């Protein structure tokens, strides 16, 4: 089974702090994704990566950056957290040549 | 621009009944249509998916019906059980390339009552 893990289930940060969310997958997938989930808005893509050190902007990249130094690990960075970044953050991975995306358990981030 | 529209936003069904959730898409290039199930505090889990070359796919109590000409697809949950109470998301994507991304609907909260 594909396993996608995220470093924290719950996180509380203050406005202006730098925040790191980490995601690790164990299936050697080439592609990894970061989404945020908000009530009534569904899941929206922030960034994705199709290879080590490669990244592409998703639909809502503003205020975020990412890092992929190793194939199994994809980090989401909030350079200066703001209250409107309070959300559930979900990481997913996918093998090249396949359609299916597999999600981690999510990190609920609260910025106060 | 929301490319995948999902309805209803919430649904209450009696145990043993049929739950039906609908989605409509705009981009005719989409070629993969999955449904995800999400329980509170968990990440979405892939439930069932369909490609546009078939009109229906069934896995146990879960069925996807797909209407290519109408650009609509729906999830039917037969004999709904309280354990099916969750949020369901439809999604769509095109291709299997590295950059292909899922476009999600806004979700349906299903509650199955005894």
Cα distance between residue A75 and residue A7, in whole Å: 10
Cα distance between residue B26 and residue B39, in whole Å: 28
Mutation target to probe the A interface, by most A beta carbons within 10 A, among B91, B101, B103 is B101
- Encode pLDDT of A28-65 as tens digits: 999 999 999 998 899 999 999 999 989 999 999 999 99
Mutation target to probe the B interface, by most B beta carbons within 10 A, among A6, A53, A101, A104 is A101
Mean pLDDT (whole number) for A105-112: 97
**pLDDT at residue A97 tops 90:** no
Residues of A in contact with B9 (CB under 8 A): 40
Residue B1 binned pLDDT confidence (cut-offs 50, 70, 90)? low
Report the residue from B41, B101, B106 with minimal CB separation from A48.
B101
Strands B4-7 and B19-25, by their bridges, are antiparallel
- pLDDT of res. B2: 61
Query: Quick one: tokens of A94?
Result: 């996918």
Domains contained in chain B, number? 1
- pLDDT of res. B109: 97
Mean pLDDT (whole number) for A76-95: 96
Residues of A with CB under 8 A from a CB of B: 4, 9, 30-31, 33, 40-45, 48, 50-51, 56, 58, 90, 96-106
Q: Which residue from A minimizes the CA distance to B87?
A: A42
* Residue owning tokens 């950059």: B99
Torsion angle defined by CA atoms of residues A49, B4, A40 and A3, in that order, rounded to the nearest 10 degrees = -40
The alpha carbon of residue B74 is apart from the nearest alpha carbon of chain A, in Å, by: 17
- Encode pLDDT of B63-82 as tens digits: 999 999 999 999 999 999 99
Beta-carbon separation of A4 and B43 below 8 A: yes
Backbone angles phi, psi at B83, to 5 degrees: -70, -10
Beta-carbon separation of B45 and A4 below 8 A: no
Cα distance between residue B34 and residue B28, in whole Å: 16
Strands A102-103 and A87-94, by their bridges, are antiparallel
Q: What is the CATH number of the domain that holds B26?
A: 2.60.40.10
Residue B98 binned pLDDT confidence (cut-offs 50, 70, 90)? low
**pLDDT at residue B39 tops 80:** yes
Q: Of the given ranges (A20-29, B19-28, B83-92, B94-103), which has the lowest mean pLDDT?
A: B94-103
The alpha carbon of residue A47 is apart from the nearest alpha carbon of chain B, in Å, by: 10
- pLDDT of res. A69: 95
Residues of A in contact with B49 (CB under 8 A): 99-100
- pLDDT of res. A80: 97
Q: B44: closest CA among A73, A88, A56, A23?
A: A88
Report the residue from A40, A96, A100 with minimal CB separation from B46.
A100
Domain limits at B63? Answer: 4-95+103-113
Residue B100 binned pLDDT confidence (cut-offs 50, 70, 90)? confident
- pLDDT of res. B96: 75
Beta-carbon separation of B93 and A99 below 8 A: yes
Mean confidence (pLDDT) of chain B: 94
Domains and CATH numbers, chain A: 4-93 (2.60.40.10)
> Per-residue b/e over A68-106, b at no fewer than 16 CB within 10 Å?
beeebebbbebeebeeebbbbbbbbbbbeeebbbbbbeb
- Encode pLDDT of A2-32 as tens digits: 699 999 999 999 999 999 999 999 999 999 9
- pLDDT of res. B34: 96
């Amino acid at each position: 089974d594909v396993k996608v893990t995220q470093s924290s289930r719950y996180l509380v940060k203050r406005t202006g702090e730098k925040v790191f969310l980490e995601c690790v997958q164990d299936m050697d997938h080439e592609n990894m994704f970061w989404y945020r989930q908000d009530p009534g808005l569904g899941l929206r893509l922030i960034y994705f990566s199709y290879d080590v050190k490669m990244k592409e902007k998703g639909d809502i990249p503003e205020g975020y950056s990412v890092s992929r130094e190793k194939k199994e690990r994809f980090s989401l960075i909030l350079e200066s957290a703001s209250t409107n970044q309070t959300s559930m953050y979900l990481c997913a991975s996918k093998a090249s040549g396949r359609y299916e995306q597999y999600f981690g358990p999510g990190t609920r981030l609260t910025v106060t | 621009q929301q490319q995948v529209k999902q309805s209803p936003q919430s649904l209450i069904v009696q145990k043993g009944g049929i739950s039906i959730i609908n989605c409509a898409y705009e981009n005719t290039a989409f070629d993969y249509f999955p449904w995800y199930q999400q329980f509170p505090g968990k990440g979405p889990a892939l439930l069932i998916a369909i490609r546009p070359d078939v009109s229906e796919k069934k896995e146990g109590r879960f069925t996807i019906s797909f209407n290519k000409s109408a650009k609509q697809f729906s999830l039917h949950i037969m004999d709904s059980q309280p354990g099916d109470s969750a949020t369901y998301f439809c999604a769509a994507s095109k291709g299997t390339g590295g950059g292909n991304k899922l476009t999600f609907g806004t979700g349906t909260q299903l509650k199955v009552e005894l």
